[in-house]
Structure 1
Amino acid sequence: MHQEQHICTKCRHNLPFTSFHKHHQNPVLNTFYGRVPIENATALLHYKKNGMVQQLLHQLKYKGRQEIGTILGNFLGHELKKEISYRNITHIIPVPLHKKRFRKRGYNQVTTFGQQLAHHLEIEYLEDILVKVTNTKTQAFKKRAARWLTTQHSFEVTDLQKLEGQHILLVDDVITTGATLEACANALKKIPNIKISIATMSIAS
């Protein structure tokens, strides 16, 4: 199979899937409890330092292996289309990169993941509504408070009318403290009557 060229059958069966999408109350949703209103939330995989998922995401993010995002999007897309709670989502929006970082890397590591989710859910993928306006340094080793301070005013919405009254699925690669997704959600909440759900490739544990 084409997927096996990138994630072998043995590795695929050893991937630490969470199945969070089957449970409304789960660690992803709980991450945002009391911080920002979220309808539904899930992560495909458990992320551990030096583990298989970290290695996969490193290949995706820094080595140009965008097909990994496609594969993970297929895995989660097959699951989410079965869930009633995700059927009323109308659009998918990725966590954006700052334009300078995008030019340096050449791609957003979330794009193929989000596009595959959009394909399975039969909805529109939009990457020009949410933009990053400040070029912050990597968040990988910052604690929660530091992440929150550096991200809360980093994102803006380009069109407040286009998604009025819609239900969007915000997607990213990994959740650690949730500060980046919280900042994105707060920016999107400026859209009138917007509903927000979250889906990521992984969650740190």
Structure 2
Amino acid sequence: MQFDLRNILGDFVAIFFPKECACCGCALKYQEKYICIACDFHLPYTNFHTYSDNDTARQLWGKVPIEEACSFILLQKGSRVERLIYQIKYNNQPFLAEYFGYQYGLKLLESELYRGLSAIVPIPLHTSKLRKRGYNQSTYFGQGLSRAMNIPLRDDVLKRQRATMTQTGKDRLSRYENVEDVFVCTQLSQPLGEHVLLVDDVLTTGATIVSATLTLQESWGCKVSVATLARAQ
């Protein structure tokens, strides 16, 4: 019988330094990677990728012309998903965004709605916030999608030309005014393609997505579809 020394050592370390579930904080058991089986079972996955007339798409209709739009999970205040998003954005665990991006990418591959994509474009952070946080969680989400779908990630396309105030606590109109004309497209050494997938971590009012989509369409004339890790309810 052959033994995997790496797994044996990993199990031994886990006895004294157990990893925690990103959603509920309980100790992960054998073969549980980032979230426990119970949380994975109870997460509010949407299946929005299977049909066009979903809540994420409806939220953007009339504001910007999009091809398709979907979100992986639903976000409610005080929920497991809220803790997950907190871990990703503020507790230095961007690999969780990549993990869920990969899982979602496998599902998008099964959907006829997301065929023919040429690139995955993440919503960028302003350089000041990127320096402070150390990473862009939307880029990690896009990396997971890219790896699963075998579509190039293009984080060189969009740039935030000014820092914006936090959207938390703002009403719907103020959120749109806060991100108006905030994005610009950079000069590209390689063509972007005809149909891009714009990705972000959380969809709230949709103001950020709308602003970025309009910038892409006005600059490159491309079709845009949208995918987010979560959609706030």
Length-normalised TM-score, structure 2: 0.84
Is residue 51 of structure 2 the alignment partner of residue 38 of structure 1? no
Measured after TM superposition, the shift of residue 147 of structure 1 is 0.5
Measured after TM superposition, the shift of residue 164 of structure 1 is 5.7
Aligned residues: 205
After superposition, where does 1:189-200 map in structure 2 within 5 Å?
A: 189-200=217-228
Structure with higher Rg: it is 2
Q: Cα deviation per residue 1:129-152 (whole Å; 9 max; x = unaligned)? A: 100111111112211100100101
In 1, are the aligned partners of 2:200 and 2:227 still within 8 Å (CA)? yes
Aligned-residue sequence identity (percent) comes to 37
Give 1:52's aligned residue. 80
Q: Cα deviation per residue 1:22-63 (whole Å; 9 max; x = unaligned)? A: 111111111111111000100000000111111001000011
> 1:103 & 1:173 partners in 2: Cα distance?
18
Give 1:184's aligned residue. 212
Length-normalised TM-score, structure 1: 0.95
After superposition, where does 1:52-131 map in structure 2 within 5 Å?
A: 52-131=80-159
Q: Cα deviation per residue 1:80-107 (whole Å; 9 max; x = unaligned)? A: 0111121211100101000000001100
In 2, are the aligned partners of 1:91 and 1:168 still within 8 Å (CA)? yes
Q: 5+ unaligned residues in a row in structure 1: which ranges?
A: none
Is residue 168 of structure 2 the alignment partner of residue 168 of structure 1? no
The alignment yields a C-alpha RMSD, in angstroms, of 1.7
Which contiguous aligned blocks of 4+ residues in structure 1 show a shift greater than 2 angstroms?
1-5, 159-165
> 1:139 & 1:180 partners in 2: Cα distance?
10
> 1:65 & 1:27 partners in 2: Cα distance?
28
Give 1:18's aligned residue. 46
Q: 5+ unaligned residues in a row in structure 2: which ranges?
A: 1-28
> 1:148 & 1:29 partners in 2: Cα distance?
17
In 2, are the aligned partners of 1:175 and 1:204 still within 8 Å (CA)? yes
> 1:67 & 1:165 partners in 2: Cα distance?
28
Give 1:29's aligned residue. 57
